[in-house]
Amino acid sequence: MPGGFFTFQDAQNHVISGPGYGDHITLSDELGNQWRGIAERQSDDTVRYIFRDQDGNAISGVSDGTGITLRDEKGKTWRGYVD
């Protein structure tokens, strides 16, 4: 499973970032909200990510080896990478 420091940015340049590995990923947004999540390898070698905040909001998406694309429940897209 990919691990390291995750950084995601939306179209308005809002950032969510933080460290993690496998099923122990913790991100923080600019407002101080914590997003806890997991990374699960799929049968086609992509990695699926699912994050939830303390209010039950979710962001999820996949990595295709070149980057990670997440989408929240309102349709906002976050693009990022693991450093």
Q: pTM score, two decimals?
A: 0.87
The structural domains of the chain, with segments of one domain joined by +, span: 1-10+35-83
pLDDT tens, 23-80? 899 999 999 999 999 999 999 988 999 999 999 999 999 997 789 999 999 999 999 9
| Inter-residue contact 3 to 81 (CB < 8 Å) | no
pLDDT (0 to 100) of residue 73: 92
Phi, psi of 50 (to 5 degrees): -135, 125
